Structure 1
Amino acid sequence: MSEILNPRLSHFLVNRLGWNKLRDVQRAALEPIMGGDDTLILASTASGKTEAAIIPIFNSMIGEGAEPVCLLYVSPLKALINDMHMRMDSWCSHFNLEAMKWHGDVSGSAKKRFIRDPVEVLLITPESLEVILINRTHDEKRRIFRNLRYIIIDEIHYFIEADRGVQLNSLLSRIESYTDRRPQRIGLSATIGNPDAVMDWMSPGGCSLVKSESDRKLDFRIFNVNLKDPNVEDLEELLDILKRLTGRKVLIFSPSRARAEAYYRIIKEKLDVEVFIHHGSLSKDLREDAEAKFKELSGAFMVSTSTLELGIDVGDIDVVVHLSAPASVNQFLQRTGRSGRKRGSQRTIIFTDKGRDVLIALSTVSLALSGKLENLRIPERPLDIYFHQILSSVFELEKPEPSDIYRLLNRSSVFSGISEDYFWRMLKFMMDEDFLRKYGPYIHHGFKFEKTFGRMNFLEFYSVFPPNYEFKVKRGTKTIGTIDAFFAVNYLNKGSLFILGGDEWVVMDIDHERFTVRVKPYLGDADIPRWNSGGMPVSFEVSRHAYDIILGNFNRDLLEKLDEPSRMKIEKYMGRAASYGLKEGMIPVDTDSRISIYTFAGDRVNKLISDIFALEVEKGVSDVVNDAFRTSFVAGIDYSDIVSIMEDIPSIIGEDDFPLRLQTHLNNFVKNKFIRHLPANVAAEIIYELLYNPGDLLKLLDENRPVHIDGFGLF
């Protein structure tokens, strides 16, 4: 144990937790955190990074004393807060400290007690933090936050790209109005490809990076089996492989809730193993009961959706199973990293059932082994959340002047690029629309704000943002699964057909405000869009590396980890690529029966290309099919027209009105309840940046050129 730790803390770690020594990431984090640096800790799942933050903080709290509230722990999920509260409570009780959790499920009486008599550690969601800042008096907020010294942001990658991340970044700055000193910020994550950008988000004034490479070897296998029809007769291969894992602790990730339920029933019926299920449609009590029982067992199966992707503690996992190819390296590492904490080896199995999925699976693993993660996409001008935070600040500041609001918000990194001139233009717009009114020098809420957000004591104003941009797919009252907003907005209308988790569905209606798609089973015979099974767009990085693989530019030793059907498919793709003469820098274009542009650039890029052609071709395009590797459509143009449009794409998307021109392709997507109230061009720009991937499209075109290959096709 480190000699610089307080003896009481060392005794607790050795005798209560049974530790012999600190892990690498925990030793590395001591110096920057004890030195007062804002710190980003990057380490694989189950590496002990949460304790890497807690140890130096508790060392200070024990040695120097801790006045309430000393530590603020922010998490994206209530389940994580509940789990972390149990862990934190055991630490606190040993050192005569106290921890309080605060989210929507916590009783009002407990919250009132906390307001009257704060405790040393507060665990909270961003939404609840916003409620405190809005609803409590200045004196109450001073009593809660004046002694705040540390803020831990857990699973920071989960926040960064979404509205909640912009909100949280603003809240962290707003809290400083009530603290005696600027609190030290510590971010935790397992999967970030661009840590410098995240450190700027977290701490523009400078931030230390603690990065611990996993010493757990990654042992993987890829199997090509039937996954579409989960009935016993068709799943013999899969069940035979799972049977070999009985006696071990296995976490199985399903692409949808319906699939999770189906595989749970079949495993329970056919395998001699204790099996549990975990997804968002189950009650909190059932999920927590499954977590507790699974955690205590050394040999059991847990079938889960993404609900167990983040750091809820379910014990030491031996093997992680994916029931479809992960759509990104980040997702793959987040899930797979849950295994091998004690064994020292991360073990994972990926099952695929479609040819392209095998290629996606191999690409994902190959990038993961090379340490190449996707960059997080940090919103550059989140003006919809700026709109919300202006309204929120009027609540908080009590008779503010405009300059008070500007100074309060623009010291946060997410709004620091918004000029004072633009702030005044936004303020004028909000007053013209009667969201705000000015009385003398002071700003107040206007009638339209009260009318729009005043129901249920402004409850809808507090619970502002979805946790991520996913639509729930519902059959009646039952949630089947989720699909990314990209697919829901770009491809779904009433009557649309699609596949989720292997099942075929027809859309009955879409509620773009509640992020809900209502469906019924499709029993017909038609060409149905086949997105990757999890309903998530495949990343640019995974798609581009798939092109490297078919060219043979990858570690061929990885093929030894594929079963024979998977290996044969990869070798077939490589053989066909060679026969077509494919090389680096090519974008194959087939104009034989329809136009197909093989970008290998991901779903978002390919959809953007097809929409650009729809705008630029005089008679438009029809019969559009997009996936991770290509965009394909029918249009009355020849190859020279295709090259001309593709060469013009940088200037086309660089036009100021391009997002607004594209708006007709975005259905009724509202993103959040504030964007509808912004000027049309501003709203269009925000939605464009979220749903598409213009930066990666420009990168693709800068590094590659179209090549005419009639009859081209790999799949």
Structure 2
Amino acid sequence: GDKRGSQLAVALERLRSICREDFQIVGLSATIGSPDKVARFLVGTSRKCHVVKVPVARYFNIEIASPKASGADIELAAKLYTHPEVVARLRLIRSLVEKYRSTLVFTNTRALAEILASRFRVWDLDFPVSIHHGSLARTSRVVAERGFKQSLLKGLICTSSLELGIDIGTIDMVIQYNSPRQVTRLLQRVGRSGHRIGLTARGVIITLDSDDTLEAAVIARRALCEQLEEVLIPEKPLDVLTQQLAGLLISRKRWAFDEVIQILRRSFPYRELTESELRSTLTYMHTRYPRLAWVSFDERVVVRPQASKELYKYYFENLSMIPVEKQYLVVEESSESAIGVLDEAFVAEYGLIGTKFIVRGSPWKITGIHNDRIYVKSIEDPTGAIPTWIGEEIPVPYEVAIEVGSIRGRAEQELKSQKDPKEIARSISAEYPIGEEIAETALEDVRNQVDLGIPVPSDKRITIEKWEDYIIIQCSFGSQVNRTLARLVGRVVSEKTGVSIGVQQDPYRIVVQAPSSILPSDIAHTFLGLSRADVKKEAVEAATTSGLFKRRLIHVA
């Protein structure tokens, strides 16, 4: 689903041309949502393949827990410097770790993994858990892996770093802290437990609020029904094409256009590559300084340049399609003291003067940006502040968010028809792997709004609310759709009013920070206007002015 796959597909075709014969490819995955497409991707456009699908979902046992704080949790919260609700979740994690021989605790971000690990250290320094994520030094990760495999540790708090591949021995239980946000993520993570024939994979999802609980219920249902996200394969990425053309020239000095395009078109991502696109890429390589290729369009050949040092350097320095993520130092403006670091993903989307964010548990406001430094000042009001780990968040698919909205819409209709809330929760529990009490709690917001006569946002309804300087657009469209809509709304309203508009989003709402002169009705008119406008054109224009676009451009260039 990313450019590493495109690189692999072309590399396999290059290998076939070197071998001058075909070879067998076996692809193996437990979490592929579109196996036929992936099969075509692996073998190329003209070869036969056979998909063997073994249903495994029936061997999964997935529960959802949303623990409530008790009196003991309130007392312990003071010791752990956190909220009683957090302590209730920590207590559940601890009880599960103590119950099973080996447990993985997955979080969606490194920051959250660090927070959980630090709370356990404060609670009990001897509790046998450790932490594992990609930002730790390799030696730290290896020590944690060995300790877990040798049963010196009973639990590992981790991110996607332990989702795949690494051998850490037998795992009895998986805890997912917060919704896993995607079906494939849930199956990969829970699938690490009970990893033997005949055993059941066991997982518990610990949720925080109604969004989290309903989202987890939808994802768990889809996982058990094997409704996985479709694999999206990038079409004809030109940065990969350039790198692979460089590889061809390293392996052989001279190539005819027809040979090159034949090799490329045999790979699935480049099956529809046009000669015009190939010429354009070769022109870039020919005119670039230092030159990567010498091209004769009259003779229809591409030749390795005589001074080929730069070609080798370009090829080997760009072997990895994983972009290097830059980090920015956060500095307190008056004292010049370091506060922490921000990832490039966060700065690209939210790194504007005036943005509020949370780091080290406190709210800050950006006052200036200079080179690799973000200057900030401390603020009292955390309203609207963005957690710094938001850039790491796994996107929630449109299909999942829409189903969450449909549950709320269905509950609204049934409550309006005077159906008992417990009966509604019972029917939800019958369809989703969620307890009746947890389902009822997750639908309390819906019940409160129905009691007040306020329309409930659903899969078929968008609602717009105003609170102080914030306008909240409630729309259950998932991370990527809402991100696009947020950029569109911000751009259109800014152009109409001449006022700078701040926007944030999550899978279920868009938050617009605007002066009091901008009303919810203005936002509603903007949405209605979008339905008539050329949305794709507007979205592209909005994207090209964003920090996210600039970041991606730097990665590709």
Q: TM-score range by the shorter chain?
A: 0.7 to 0.9
- Pick the aligned partner of 1:573 from 443, 446, 462: 446
RMSD: 4.2
- Pick the aligned partner of 1:624 from 492, 503, 514: 503
Offset, 1:458: 4.5
> Aligned partner of 1:207: which letter?
C
Q: Matches of 2:339 and 2:399 in 1, distance apart?
A: 31
> Aligned partner of 1:623: which letter?
G
Q: Matches of 1:381 and 1:201 in 2, distance apart?
A: 13
Q: Matches of 1:344 and 1:387 in 2, distance apart?
A: 47
> Aligned partner of 2:381: which letter?
D
- Pick the aligned partner of 1:220 from 60, 63, 78: 63
Offset, 1:406: 2.4
- Aligned partners of 1:223 and 1:562 also within 8 Å: no
Question: Which residue in 2 is equivalent to 1:191?
Answer: 31
Question: Equivalent residue of 1:422, what SS?
Answer: helix
Please list the CA deviations of residues 256-295 of structure 1 after superposition, one character each: whole Å capped at 9, or x if unmatched. 4344344334435645642232222333333223223312
Q: In the TM superposition, what are the counterparts of 1:463-478 in structure 2 within 5 Å? A: 463-466=319-322
- Pick the aligned partner of 1:438 from 290, 295, 307: 295
- Aligned partners of 2:464 and 2:524 also within 8 Å: no
TM-score normalised per structure 1:
0.60
Please list the CA deviations of residues 460-508 of structure 1 after superposition, one character each: whole Å capped at 9, or x if unmatched. 63444216x97767779x99899794x5533334664335797767679
The answer to which of 529-538 and 400-409 deviates more is 529-538
The answer to which of 309-318 and 394-403 deviates more is 394-403
- Pick the aligned partner of 2:16 from 176, 179, 182: 176
> Aligned partner of 1:200: which letter?
R
- Pick the aligned partner of 2:487 from 591, 599, 611: 611
Question: Which residue in 1 is equivalent to 2:270?
Answer: 415
Q: In the TM superposition, what are the counterparts of 1:471-620 in structure 2 within 5 Å? A: 485=345, 488-493=347-352, 496-499=355-358, 524-526=380-382, 527-529=384-386, 535-552=393-410, 555-557=428-430, 561=434, 567-573=440-446, 576=449, 579-580=453-454, 586-590=460-464, 596-617=472-493, 618-619=495-496
> Aligned partner of 2:544: which letter?
Q
Q: 1:550 to 1:521 in 2, by over 3 A?
A: farther
Question: Equivalent residue of 1:188, what SS?
Answer: coil
- Aligned partners of 2:489 and 2:527 also within 8 Å: no
Structure 2 unpaired stretches of 5+: 332-337, 412-426
- Aligned partners of 2:105 and 2:156 also within 8 Å: yes
Offset, 1:250: 0.9
Q: 1:525 to 1:581 in 2, by over 3 A?
A: closer
Q: Matches of 1:386 and 1:673 in 2, distance apart?
A: 17
Q: Matches of 2:123 and 2:527 in 1, distance apart?
A: 56
Please list the CA deviations of residues 216-251 of structure 1 after superposition, one character each: whole Å capped at 9, or x if unmatched. 232313225689x99625354234223322141111
> Aligned partner of 2:80: which letter?
V
Offset, 1:412: 1.2
Q: Matches of 1:223 and 1:538 in 2, distance apart?
A: 20
Offset, 1:509: 8.9
- Aligned partners of 1:256 and 1:480 also within 8 Å: no
Question: Which residue in 2 is equivalent to 1:232?
Answer: 80
Question: Which residue in 1 is equivalent to 2:128?
Answer: 274
Question: Equivalent residue of 1:218, what SS?
Answer: strand
Question: Which residue in 2 is equivalent to 1:428?
Answer: 283
% identical aligned pairs: 24
- Aligned partners of 2:187 and 2:223 also within 8 Å: yes
Q: Matches of 2:284 and 2:176 in 1, distance apart?
A: 49
Offset, 1:630: 2.1
Question: Equivalent residue of 1:277, what SS?
Answer: strand
Offset, 1:315: 2.0
- Aligned partners of 1:222 and 1:361 also within 8 Å: no
- Pick the aligned partner of 2:530 from 622, 643, 646: 646
Offset, 1:524: 4.2
Question: Which residue in 2 is equivalent to 1:61?
Answer: none
Question: Which residue in 2 is equivalent to 1:206?
Answer: 48
- Aligned partners of 1:484 and 1:536 also within 8 Å: no
> Aligned partner of 1:300: which letter?
K
Q: Matches of 2:342 and 2:505 in 1, distance apart?
A: 19
Offset, 1:339: 1.6
The answer to which of 316-325 and 305-314 deviates more is 316-325
Offset, 1:307: 0.7
Aligned residues: 503
TM-score normalised per structure 2:
0.76
- Aligned partners of 1:295 and 1:314 also within 8 Å: yes
Offset, 1:609: 1.5
- Aligned partners of 2:402 and 2:459 also within 8 Å: no
Q: Matches of 2:28 and 2:164 in 1, distance apart?
A: 12
Q: 1:495 to 1:470 in 2, by over 3 A?
A: farther
- Aligned partners of 2:477 and 2:508 also within 8 Å: yes
Q: 1:420 to 1:665 in 2, by over 3 A?
A: same
Please list the CA deviations of residues 94-152 of structure 1 after superposition, one character each: whole Å capped at 9, or x if unmatched. xxxxxxxxxxxxxxxxxxxxxxxxxxxxxxxxxxxxxxxxxxxxxxxxxxxxxxxxxxx
Q: Matches of 2:217 and 2:270 in 1, distance apart?
A: 39
Q: In the TM superposition, what are the counterparts of 1:105-184 in structure 2 within 5 Å? A: 161-184=1-24
Q: In the TM superposition, what are the counterparts of 1:89-100 in structure 2 within 5 Å? A: none
Q: Matches of 2:107 and 2:353 in 1, distance apart?
A: 26
Q: Matches of 1:497 and 1:563 in 2, distance apart?
A: 38
Question: Equivalent residue of 1:182, what SS?
Answer: coil
Please list the CA deviations of residues 128-180 of structure 1 after superposition, one character each: whole Å capped at 9, or x if unmatched. xxxxxxxxxxxxxxxxxxxxxxxxxxxxxxxxx22211111111111101225
Q: Matches of 1:355 and 1:501 in 2, distance apart?
A: 26
Q: Matches of 1:297 and 1:601 in 2, distance apart?
A: 43
Q: 1:324 to 1:491 in 2, by over 3 A?
A: same
Question: Which residue in 1 is equivalent to 2:205?
Answer: 350
- Aligned partners of 2:368 and 2:374 also within 8 Å: yes
